[in-house]
């Protein structure tokens, strides 16, 4: 194998494979490195994405296991509040196949794939490239690249090496399990909220349409989420009765994006750059948007030969221009969510039951861009503003005033 590349992308998850595909498509020599032997495994995701995620990935709907048209919100009191409509708002996908298809796309554009190969060391070369140490089958090998793209997930080695993780960051711990379970509706997910149930986040159940479901929970209080998952299952016997559980899997969910995901000759993308929606913890769509912007700037940099941090910062700016504002709104929404006690959540759910709000959610619900629906809801029911605490950047009151 050659030891010199234009770009080495570390991590064959969705963000890395999409970035490798688009950089290779421009004619650059790209190596895609994956530490695991099999793409997409071990699984660390519940695989719920919007239809637009498949569009941006360039993957057709064969990988869709089930269509999700709404969700039932379960409150600590046991009350259940359905929201949704005819959708589909989201797809439950075969996540392993999704990752494999993206890798196949990257290979078809000329990227070389090496599985079972772990990045273990990075060193700058004064000649303007980066030297990488790769461990494969117990042996170490040196390779050289003009550009290193860290797409190595929530615990990114590249981000740590770059010092991009020095700022305070909020990280959740999530756990998920596949179970055989008969659900009330096959086209509705279940969401479980309440600080005693899932501190700082929520639990979920996603029907896969074949009598099985993905159940998960993420929390932010440092206690292992498996305990909360067990408590959740016990707290809602009507939902979980008769479930036969399969393999458990988990992972970290980084909720704060890295403001400058670049250094000289280095870029971060996907979870490595914290490109994860703060409201849902979903990172597939936003990581693919990150990959798109990353590849555009990487291709310009490789073509012009300017791989300086200053040039690569164009990537941060272009990602910001597409998703930055929505991410700020989602951070605001997250702060509001964190400020609500269980009694507030019950009151909020009561409001969501009103027909006008139900209709707005059915028509405009969008888990990739939640702020637009929330603005509509707040306009329709100003009582929702009582949930907005002081100190938030978003000018909710001003917008309501322009109605
Ligand atoms: C429990 C749970 C449920 C989730 N559910 C959803 C969901 O329903 N919808 C959604 O949109 N998001 C979900 N997410 C988040 C989603 O899984 C991530 O945002 C997404 O996988 C990020 O993609 P990525 O390509 O950035 O990183 P990853 O998919 O994490 O890929 C990174 C890759 O890098 C490889 N790697 C790491 N270090 C090295 C190294 N040193 N050398 C070589 N390779 C390396 C890893 O093996 C991995 O394959 C969930 C997360 C968790 C934890």
Q: What is the pLDDT of residues 277-313, one digit of tens each?
A: 999 999 999 999 999 999 999 999 999 999 999 999 9
Any ligand 1 atom below 6 A from CB of 10: yes
Retrieve residue 186's tokens: 């096959």
Give the closest residue (by CA) to ligand 1 atom 51: 45
pTM, two decimals, is: 0.94
Retrieve residue 54's tokens: 């498949």
CA 290 to ligand 1: nearest atom? 26
Q: Do strands 4-10 and 139-150 pair parallel, antiparallel, or not at all (unpaired)? A: parallel
| Closest among 250, 294, 257, 251 to 277, alpha carbons compared | 257
| Closest among 320, 163, 177, 298 to 249, alpha carbons compared | 177
Distance separating alpha carbons of residues 269 and 156, to the nearest angstrom: 10
Runs of H (alpha helix) within 176-241 = 225-235, 237-240
CA 156 to ligand 1: nearest atom? 38
CA 173 to ligand 1: nearest atom? 53
Four-CA torsion 349, 350, 355, 356, nearest 10 degrees: -70
Distance separating alpha carbons of residues 341 and 363, to the nearest angstrom: 28
pLDDT at 390: 42
Distance separating alpha carbons of residues 96 and 373, to the nearest angstrom: 31
Distance separating alpha carbons of residues 389 and 387, to the nearest angstrom: 6
Angle (CA) 134-115-38 rounded to 5° is 140
Q: Which of 53, 152, 285 to mutate to test the pocket of ligand 1 (most atoms within 8 A of CB)?
A: 152
Any ligand 1 atom below 6 A from CB of 331: no
Retrieve residue 312's tokens: 């690569």
Q: Which residues pair with 179 in a beta bridge?
A: 213, 245
Distance of CA 48 to the CA centre of its chain: 10
Query: pLDDT tens digit string along 207-264?
Result: 999 999 999 999 998 888 899 999 999 999 989 999 999 989 999 999 888 888 999 9
Any ligand 1 atom below 6 A from CB of 93: no
Distance separating alpha carbons of residues 387 and 167, to the nearest angstrom: 29
For residue 21, the 8-state DSSP code is: H
User: Is the bond into 88 cis (omega within 30 degrees of 0)?
Assistant: yes
CA 206 to ligand 1: nearest atom? 8
Distance of CA 44 from the midpoint of ligand 1 (Å): 6
Q: Which of 35, 134, 153 to mutate to test the pocket of ligand 1 (most atoms within 8 A of CB)?
A: 153
Query: pLDDT tens digit string along 311-355?
Result: 999 999 999 999 999 999 898 889 888 888 899 899 888 888 888
CA 175 to ligand 1: nearest atom? 1
For residue 394, the 8-state DSSP code is: S
pLDDT at 375: 77
Angle (CA) 354-73-49 rounded to 5° is 110
Any ligand 1 atom below 6 A from CB of 284: yes
Any ligand 1 atom below 6 A from CB of 290: no
Side-chain half-sphere CA neighbours of 88 within 13 A: 19
Any ligand 1 atom below 6 A from CB of 119: yes
Distance of CA 356 from the midpoint of ligand 1 (Å): 38
Work out the end-to-end distance of the chain between its first and last CA atoms, rounded to an integer number of angstroms: 63
375 contacts 388 by C-beta, under 8 angstroms: no
Distance of CA 38 from the midpoint of ligand 1 (Å): 14
Distance separating alpha carbons of residues 106 and 110, to the nearest angstrom: 7
Q: Do strands 171-180 and 244-254 pair parallel, antiparallel, or not at all (unpaired)? A: antiparallel
Residue 187 has pLDDT above 90, yes or no: yes
Q: What percent of the chain has pLDDT over 70?
A: 95
Residue 397 has pLDDT above 60, yes or no: no
Which residues are CB-contacts of 136 (< 8 A; sequence separation ≥ 6)? 114, 116, 117, 118
Query: pLDDT tens digit string along 163-175?
Result: 876 565 789 999 9
Radius of gyration, CA atoms only, the chain? 22
Retrieve residue 392's tokens: 């938030």
Any ligand 1 atom below 6 A from CB of 147: no
Any ligand 1 atom below 6 A from CB of 70: no
15-21 mean pLDDT: 98
Which residues are CB-contacts of 233 (< 8 A; sequence separation ≥ 6)? 215, 240, 243
Distance separating alpha carbons of residues 95 and 72, to the nearest angstrom: 23
| Closest among 375, 341, 376 to 360, alpha carbons compared | 376
Any ligand 1 atom below 6 A from CB of 16: yes
Other C-beta atoms lying within 10 Å of the C-beta of residue 310: 9
Distance separating alpha carbons of residues 221 and 155, to the nearest angstrom: 18
Which residues are CB-contacts of 108 (< 8 A; sequence separation ≥ 6)? 21
pLDDT band of residue 392 (cuts 50, 70, 90) is low
Any ligand 1 atom below 6 A from CB of 12: yes
Any ligand 1 atom below 6 A from CB of 253: yes
Distance of CA 366 from the midpoint of ligand 1 (Å): 22
């Amino acid at each position: 194998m050659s030891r010199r590349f234009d770009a080495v992308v570390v991590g064959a998850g969705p963000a890395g494979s999409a970035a490798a595909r688009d950089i290779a498509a421009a004619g650059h020599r790209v190596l895609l490195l994956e530490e695991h032997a099999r793409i997409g495994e071990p699984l660390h995701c519940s695989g719920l994405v919007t239809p637009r995620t498949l569009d941006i990935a360039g993957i057709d709907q064969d990988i869709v296991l089930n269509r999700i048209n709404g969700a039932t919100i379960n409150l600590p009191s046991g009350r259940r509040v359905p929201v949704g409509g005819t959708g589909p708002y989201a797809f439950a996908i075969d996540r392993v196949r999704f990752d494999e298809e993206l890798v196949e796309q990257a290979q078809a554009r000329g990227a070389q794939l090496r599985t079972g190969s772990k990045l273990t060391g990075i060193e700058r070369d004064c000649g303007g490239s980066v030297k990488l140490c790769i461990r494969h089958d117990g042996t170490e090998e040196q390779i050289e690249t003009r550009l290193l793209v860290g797409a190595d997930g929530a615990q990114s080695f590249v981000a740590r090496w770059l010092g991009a993780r020095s700022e305070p960051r909020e990280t959740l711990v999530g756990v998920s399990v596949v179970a055989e379970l008969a659900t009330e509706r096959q086209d509705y997910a279940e969401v479980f909220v309440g600080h005693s149930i899932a501190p700082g986040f929520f639990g979920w159940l996603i029907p896969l349409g074949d009598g099985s479901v993905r159940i998960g929970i993420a929390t932010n209080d440092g206690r292992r989420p498996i305990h909360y998952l067990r408590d959740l299952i016990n707290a809602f016997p009507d939902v979980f009765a008769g479930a036969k559980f399969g393999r458990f899997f988990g992972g970290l969910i980084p909720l704060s994006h890295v403001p400058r995901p670049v250094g000289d000759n280095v870029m971060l993308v996907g979870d490595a750059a914290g490109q994860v929606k703060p409201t849902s913890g979903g990172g597939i769509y936003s990581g693919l948007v990150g990959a798109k912007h990353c590849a555009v700037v990487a291709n310009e940099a490789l073509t012009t030969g300017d791989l300086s941090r200053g040039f690569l910062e164009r990537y941060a700016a272009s990602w910001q221009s597409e998703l930055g504002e929505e991410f700020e709104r989602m951070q605001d929404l997250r702060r509001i969510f964190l400020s609500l006690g269980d009694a507030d959540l019950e009151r909020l759910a009561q409001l969501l039951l009103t027909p006008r709000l139900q209709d707005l959610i059915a028509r405009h619900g969008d888990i990739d861009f939640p702020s637009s629906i929330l603005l509509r809801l707040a306009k329709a029911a100003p009582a929702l503003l009582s949930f907005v605490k002081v100190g938030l950047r978003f000018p909710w009151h001003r917008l309501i005033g322009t109605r």
